[in-house]
Amino acid sequence: MLIVFMFLTFSLGNSTQADSVSPEFNEDNPITVMSYNIRFDNPNDGINAWPHRKDHVAEMMGPDKYSTDIVGLQEALLHQIEELQDRLPGYNWVGVGRDDGKDQGEFSPIFYRADRFDLVATNTFWLSENPEYPGSKSWDAAITRIVTWARFTDKQTGQDVYVLNTHFDHQGQQARYESSRIIIDKIASLNPDIPVILTGDLNINERNDAYNVLSEADNLHDARYASETGHEGPTATFNDWEELREPESRIDYIFVSDGVRVLNHRILDDRYDGRFPSDHLPVISDIILE
């Protein structure tokens, strides 16, 4: 199946622009990238409901604890995004709601440090046979799914990078497989001279055919195995608020293209008062654009 993408690129007006301050970075200062499913605001989550953990999520993805530069979130509702940005004023974000391409439904937003990156272009497409049609879904997908992408310029080096962030379907295997193919097609349509980072909750483990589509692509690599220093931390990312199901529940990923050095790969299992900030653990890597 051939998916044809329309090249509409724009900067969304749904984020409050932080003041840009030109920092003094070391020449070899890496970019810290995180993928984090923060769990949608479900009032039935009791002690794990959003009001009890939003400060912890902000700390995990913010500048002070792990010094993140780019964060791909999943399951974020608009009010959650706004509350996170209130706590993270040095970050801007891009994204749209998956239900209508505006503000309804979950987002797959990309947060980025405004003092390090300029936003060049951004858009969202749907993981369906009609990727430009908001709210569309196909195959055996249970829920509408999207990819938000952005092109950034690193103010430190002048280098550009594409970042794609997604959340695959939790039920439909054909939908997950086709979603991987759509993403590979999208990456192939981008400027080949610009490196690519893919973050996401893919709802698949390494034995899944949809994982193989990504990991066996000519120009895409699982950051865990591309890491120059191996992996640190748990091998699972889904905790279901309680304990990890190792290793089958590594379903959250960072992938990189050629032209990206992965210095490390970590899964973070921080707890606050004995509780995880989300039912997923964040994945984090320090990378260098070559």
Look at residue 7 and tell me whether its pLDDT is greater than 60: no
Q: How many CB atoms lie within 10 A of CB 134?
A: 19
Could you read off the pLDDT of 116-149 as tens digits, one per residue?
999 999 999 999 999 999 999 999 999 999 999 9
pLDDT tens-digit readout, 207-245: 999 999 999 999 999 999 999 999 999 999 999 999 876
pTM, 2 dp: 0.92
Looking at residue 18, what is its pLDDT? 46
Confidence (pLDDT) at 243: 82
Helix axes 78-87, 50-61, angle to 10 degrees: 50
In percent, how much of the chain has pLDDT > 90?
88
pLDDT digits (tens, 9 = 90+) for 143-180: 999 999 999 999 999 999 999 999 999 999 999 999 99
| Whole-number Å distance between alpha carbons of 167 and 74 | 6
Encoding tokens for residue 213? 């589509």
Q: Does residue 227 contact residue 266 with C-beta atoms inside 8 Å?
A: no
Q: What's the pLDDT at 245?
A: 67
With cut-offs at 50, 70 and 90, classify the pLDDT of residue 52: very high
User: Regarding beta strands 196-201 and 160-167, do their DSSP bridges make them parallel or antiparallel, or are they unpaired?
Assistant: parallel
How many angstroms separate the CA atoms of 89 and 193, rounded? 32
The domains located in the chain, with CATH, are 31-289 (3.60.10.10)
- DSSP per-residue codes, 219-283: T-EEHHHH-TT-EES-S--B-TTS---TTTT--EEEEE-TTEEE--EEE----BTTB-SSSB--E
pLDDT at res. 12: 42
Residue 55 has pLDDT above 90, yes or no: yes
